Amino acid sequence: MENLALIESFSEFKDNKSIDRVTLMAILEEVLRAALKRKFGSDANFDIIINPDKGDLEIWRNRVVVADGEVEDDNEEIELSEAVKIEPDFEIGEDVSEEVKLGDLGRRSILALRQNLISKIHEHDSTNVFKQFKELEGELFSAEVHHVRHNAIILLDDEGNEIVLPKSEQIRSDFFRKGDAVRGVIKSVELRGNKPSIILSRTSPEFLNKLFEQEIPEVFDGLITVEGVARVPGEKAKVAVDSYDDRIDPVGACVGVKGSRIHGIVRELGNENIDVINFTKNEQLYIARALSPAKVTSMDIEMYEEAKKGKKGRVNVLLKPEEVSKAIGRGGVNIRLASDLTGYDIDVQRDGLEEEDVELTEFVDEIESWIIQEFKNIGLDTARSVLETSVEELVKRTDLEEETIIDVQRILKEEFEE
């Protein structure tokens, strides 16, 4: 009965679907051999026979018979006088097989064996889970909320695997309770110690890409391809789509009649406003489409010799005054998404700038650049455009204090009074 505790441990896992019988037996033999090596110095001359169905476990040590007094290694050699006790007709030079009981290893070793077995099986399970989810990186995945923390949501899938949705990977409007089903993409999978760390994301552009694949049949079938995605999660996104079939309108197919097809995606993303545009290899046309709803008058593209921060070049876009705020968007979101989608740094300039007007960038010595950027974010990039807007309106539309705005307008007025 010495092997009972070990076999019971084995039985706890032999029906585990995540590990096959052959692997399980190999793990048991591995921990046994490690124990034998600690006890006897070597496990090379041991045979281990395991029958998990019957709970049988046999360990046999093989030694060579030598004359009495000539034993140099008692693990591999046995004196003749000892050998004949096992079998009377043994002679010098013959091989002797003798069964080793687990009890011979000592109670402490048996307990260590059991713990080592359990540890090795858990380690094997963790490695399998890591490999399984590593292959799912970038793929859509759904799991159930198990626990809500202040900085993350802990999810469990159908197999009981733990998946983490950090606060940084949640859409601002996300609100989940225990038991809710949550969708996202597997962002990263790492082994920390022996435990896999699986991170889910709902803010990744890839999540929107995968939602298009799932919700729009033509994208799933490959008739329409998603060529680019840029997002400000929960607020606004731009998606460029294309089709190799001229009979298919990719934008119309993705949006659907009165937005019927894209509505489910918008709802999943907390009412994120999604602009779907036609992709084209014509760079100027692509940039113009990305800046919609603004209408571009003209543009000049300057390519970088080497890519800077992932951008291919700089574009100076000329717009009519009434189109500037549309191109920039609230808080600069529209122009930022257009830049991310196209891979260009985009500068917006007003068409027909009055001779007596001056661009705000000319005042960098007197007005801090971040303050100038606040005005540019709402489409005001010249001195007169700021002066023609009331202080009250500027306070509402920017993050600037009233005192700061009054001071800026004073500096701008002095420019024209000179």
The CATH number of residue 322's host domain is 3.30.300.20
Encoding tokens for residue 297? Answer: 């008058």
Residue with tokens 């019957």: 54
Question: pLDDT per position in the chain (418 positions), as tens?
Answer: 345 445 555 555 555 545 666 777 777 888 888 888 888 888 888 888 877 666 567 888 899 888 888 888 888 888 888 888 888 888 888 888 888 887 677 677 667 777 777 777 777 777 778 888 899 999 999 999 999 998 999 999 988 889 999 999 999 999 999 999 999 999 999 888 778 899 999 999 999 999 999 999 999 999 999 999 999 999 999 999 999 888 999 999 999 888 888 999 999 999 999 999 999 999 999 999 999 999 988 889 998 888 777 788 899 898 887 788 888 888 889 999 999 999 999 988 877 655 567 788 878 888 898 998 888 888 788 888 888 888 888 888 888 999 999 999 988 888 776 5
Q: How far apart are CA 251 and CA 42, in angstroms?
A: 70
Which residues does residue 277 pair with via DSSP β-bridges, in sequence order? 240
In 10 A of CB 190, how many CB atoms?
Answer: 12
Q: How far apart are CA 187 and CA 199, in angstroms?
A: 6
Domain check: are 50 and 39 in the same one? yes
Domain check: are 198 and 229 in the same one? no
Residue with tokens 């607020």: 235
Domain check: are 50 and 126 in the same one? yes
Q: How far apart are CA 146 and CA 398, in angstroms?
A: 41
Tell which residue, 56, 73, 36, 9, has the closest CA to residue 47: 36
Domain check: are 312 and 347 in the same one? yes
Encoding tokens for residue 216? Answer: 């729009």
Containing structural domain, residue 163: 138-203
Domain check: are 125 and 210 in the same one? no
What is the reported pTM? 0.63
Structurally, the chain folds into a number of domains equal to 5
> What is the model's pLDDT at position 271?
92
Domain check: are 227 and 346 in the same one? no
Q: Which CATH number belongs to the domain containing residue 153 in this structure? A: 2.40.50.140
* β-strand pairing of 236-243 with 46-51: unpaired
Domain check: are 294 and 347 in the same one? yes
Last residue of a domain, one of 274, 302, 329: 274
Domain check: are 21 and 106 in the same one? yes
Those residues with Cβ within 8 angstroms of residue 278's Cβ, 6 or more apart along the chain or in another chain: 240, 241, 242, 250, 251, 289
- Number of residues that this document lists for the chain: 418
Collapsing DSSP states into helix, strand and coil, what is residue 191?
strand
Domain check: are 13 and 124 in the same one? yes
Last residue of a domain, one of 203, 227, 251: 203
Last residue of a domain, one of 131, 152, 182: 131
Domain check: are 247 and 329 in the same one? no
Domain check: are 348 and 365 in the same one? no
Alpha carbon 24 to its chain's center:
31
Domain check: are 190 and 225 in the same one? no
In angstroms and rounded to an integer, the radius of gyration of the C-alpha atoms of the chain is 36
Which residues does residue 88 pair with via DSSP β-bridges, in sequence order? none
> What is the model's pLDDT at position 20?
64
**Percentages helix, strand, coil for the chain, rounded to the nearest 5?**
40, 30, 30
Q: Which CATH number belongs to the domain containing residue 34 in this structure? A: 3.30.1480
